[in-house]
Every structure is written in structure tokens, then in C-alpha cells.
Amino acid sequence: MSRLLLKWLRVPHEPAPPEGSPDSIKIFRAGANYYRWRLVVWVFSWFGSMVPLLLSALFVMGLHKLPPLARALILAGEVLFFAWLVLLLPFSYLMQRLNYEQRWYIVTDRSLRIRAGIWSVEELTMTFANIQDIRITSGPLQKFLGLADLEVASAGGGSTGPKGEQIASSHIACFAGVDNAEQIRDLIQDRLRHYRDAGLGDPNTAPATPTVDQAAANLLAEARALRAAASA
Amino acid sequence: MTQPVPASIAAIKRPIDPLWTYYLLKAAATTVAFPVTALVLYFRFHTMRYDFGAEGLRMSWGILFRNEVLLNYARIQDIHLRSNAIERALGLARIEIQTASGSSSSVMTLEGLADPEAMRDYLYSRMHGATDHKQADTLTTVLLEVAAELKTVRLALEKRA
């Protein structure tokens, strides 16, 4: 069933790791409890959409002044919507499983790559040279399940909405629901240490390595200076 | 120091035709506004141009409202490869490129590429931090060392004088 869905939606195969030394490639997956966490969130959101539906149905039934036809139409609409939600239930349940399975967090010596998604497949590649900060967050339920989200941010705007709330920024690579966040953090920090010019960078600002011509000219100037010093 | 652009990348100037099909579907999704969105996307598709240079890339589209974006490879922060199921059915994918500019939306979205994964690999290879800064070759190093030796000789000579 899920194989068929993946094929039908043309979800690409496992992502190729970015170029880097082959023995440095480490592939992390979401923790086993991440699936359970998704299920909990999914159940809650399902009930979250169910409650207002029921309340509005009760409200409409309580309106005695409404013409019977209008009331019947509204209730029929609500029943149809309810049926639609129930019909989608197995499908969205399968999606939770697939979303858990279709997740890859790849770390090489130079960069990281994150792949996730079923309907909309998203893949993000970032080099460590551009990374600004690492953040680990976990809520009470995630903590109970031994999970955490590890976020790696590059420079740039996480813009704020009209009320000052943070909008999810595409500058952030999120290792969602990993059960070894500390290990991944240590690994990334270790790799970051190799970039002294990490952060906002331009390779042109690194000390330029001289060309052969420049080195030869330099040698000539030095030889002339030596002769001048010797003949003085 | 800049590496040459591979011929397959340098040859890309226009988006591939399935992008137009996708644009039509996208316009159809707006139902009533179809004529307007279809027209806008028609011009977008037909005026879209790419230019992949040695230092950076350029993308432009639009006639009435002209847009042109230039971007240096070295300034790329992160590369997103995105696609929804409809795009994948048409063999398409988007590459969204981020720089360190203030917006959270992408700076440039490359659409309608024949091989998005190859393009992603190419952009990655040009990005800051993907490869080491070029090391000086041995001849240059030797010349620099000889110069340094001569300098110490000169300094010793001057001290004695």
C-alpha cells in the first residue's frame, strides 16, 4: 500500500549524500518514538477539527427560528464534511507513517542535507562554512518520548509576522524528532571547528595564495635587495 | 582561480516545456482568475532566461514588469530542492536558493530545469565551504621559501654591516 503510494506520487529514492569524503558520511533518521509523537499530534488535531464541527451542529439545532429547510441543509453539509473527514482518516494515518519513514538527515565532513516530505518533497543542502548556530528544543511530550528537534541555522532573516511572531524560516535545517540530538550536535560542532572562517563568508577574503608569477617576482625582488645590501 | 562552467550547465538558457504545462495547471487552479494568471504565467515562461557564468548566475523574466536577479555562487547559503507530486509527475522540480539577505523567502527560484539534481550538485560545488581554498602548488611554495631564505641572508648581512 505505502509502496504503491510512494510510486504513484513519484517520491524520489533515498537522497544522495552531498559530495564530501565518503567515510565521513553519517545518515541519521528520526527516532522510533517520533512516529508515536506524530500519531499523538495527529489524533489531537483530528479532534481539534471535530469539536468545532459538533459544537456548530448543536448550535444550529438549537436555533428554532431558522426555517426547517435551511437547518436541514446546514446539517446535511456538516454531515457531509464529517463523512469526508472520516473517509480521509486511513489516508492521513498512512501519511503519518510515511512521513516518519521518509526522513533523512545526512551529515558529511563539509555539509548537511535534509530530505523530508511525501506530497511535497523538500531537500535542503547547507555547508558547515555557512552555519551560524545550533539549537536543540524539545517539549514535555517529546522529552517523555526521548525526542528532540535539532535546528541548524545559517545567516539570514527569520522574518517576523505582523504580530511579531516568528515565521518558519527556510534558513533553518531541522533534524526533527531525533533521539540522539546531543550526539549529532557534538558531531556538527566537531566539524564546525575545522572552519575558522565559518559564518558569513566569501572565499575572496581568505588570504590569497600567490601564483607562480607572483612568487617568482617576489624572489627576484629579494635577490636584488640582497645584492644591494651586499654591495653597500 | 575560477573553474570553468561545465558545458551542460552553461548551455542552459531557457526553462523546459513541461514548465508551461505546470503553469497552465497552476492557472487552472485559480478557476475564475484563469485568464489573468494564465497570461501572467505565459509571459513569465516565455521571457524566462538563465545565464550561468563562472562567478555567478543570472535569471530574468517579465516584459512589462521586468525582473532580473544576479547572484554570486559564493554567496549561496542554502540550496532547497523542492517538488510537489504534480511537478514530479511532469518531471519538474524547483531549486530555491538562499543568501544571507534579510528575507525568509528565497532569493531565487530556478524552475523548469531538465536535470534539477545535477544543477543542485553544480551549485553545491560552487558554494562557499564545499571545497577547500586552492592550495599553492609546490613550485610556488619553493620559490617563496627561496625568497624567505634570501631575506634572512640579507638581514644577517645588514646586521653585520
CATH number, residue B84: 2.30.29
Contact flag B127-A127 (C-beta cutoff 8 Å): yes
Q: Please give the residue range of the domain that contains residue A55.
A: 2-192
Contact flag A126-B77 (C-beta cutoff 8 Å): yes
Cβ atoms A110, B133 nearer than 8 A: no
Q: Which of A11, A126, A205 to mutate to test the interface with B (most CBs of B within 10 A)?
A: A126
* Domain assignment present for A232: no
* Domain assignment present for B76: yes
Instruction: Show Cβ contacts of residue A229 under 8 Å, excluding neighbours closer than 6 positions.
Output: B154, B157, B158, B161
Q: What is the dihedral of CA A201, A202, A203, A206, to 10 degrees?
A: -70
In chain A, the number of structural domains is 1
Q: Does A120 touch chain B (CB under 8 A)?
A: yes
Q: Please give the residue range of the domain that contains residue B37.
A: 7-135
* Domain assignment present for A102: yes
* Domain assignment present for B149: no
* Domain assignment present for B143: no
pLDDT band for position A205 (cuts 50, 70, 90): very low
Count of residues in chain B: 161
Q: Does A108 touch chain B (CB under 8 A)?
A: no
* Domain assignment present for A209: no
* Domain assignment present for B35: yes
Distance from CA of B5 to the nearest CA of A (A): 18
pLDDT band for position A162 (cuts 50, 70, 90): low
Instruction: Work out the average pLDDT over B96-116.
Output: 83
In chain B, the number of structural domains is 1
Which residues of chain B make contact with A111, given a CB cutoff of 8 A?
A: 124, 129-130
* Domain assignment present for A211: no
* Domain assignment present for A206: no
Confidence check: pLDDT of B47 > 70: yes
**Residue A216 grid coordinates:** 617568482
Task: Out of A11, A110, A223, name the one closest to residue B129 (CB).
Answer: A110
pLDDT band for position A204 (cuts 50, 70, 90): very low
pLDDT band for position B13 (cuts 50, 70, 90): very high
* Domain assignment present for B159: no
Which residues of chain B make contact with A202, given a CB cutoff of 8 A?
A: 74-75, 128
Q: In what order do the strands lie in the sheet with A131-137?
A: A131-137, A148-154, A172-178
Instruction: Work out the average pLDDT over B128-156.
Output: 77
Cβ atoms B103, A158 nearer than 8 A: no
* Domain assignment present for A79: yes
* Ramachandran bin of B112, using left for φ above 0, alpha for ψ from -120 to 50, beta for the remaining angles: left
- Nearest chain B residue to A172, by CA: B78
Confidence check: pLDDT of B103 > 70: no
Count of CB pairs separated by less than 8 Å, A with B:
165
* Domain assignment present for B131: yes
Contact flag A219-B106 (C-beta cutoff 8 Å): no
Q: What is the pLDDT of residue A159?
A: 55
Instruction: Note the pLDDT tens digit of each residue in A34-78.
Output: 999 999 999 998 888 888 888 888 888 777 777 888 888 888 988
* Domain assignment present for B146: no
pLDDT band for position B60 (cuts 50, 70, 90): very high
Q: What is the pLDDT of residue B111?
A: 92
Which strand (E) or helix (H) includes residue A85?
Answer: helix A68-101
* Domain assignment present for A210: no
Q: Which of A110-119, B33-42, B56-65, B94-103 has the least mean pLDDT?
A: B94-103
Distance from CA of B122 to the nearest CA of A (A): 10
* Domain assignment present for A186: yes
* Domain assignment present for B145: no
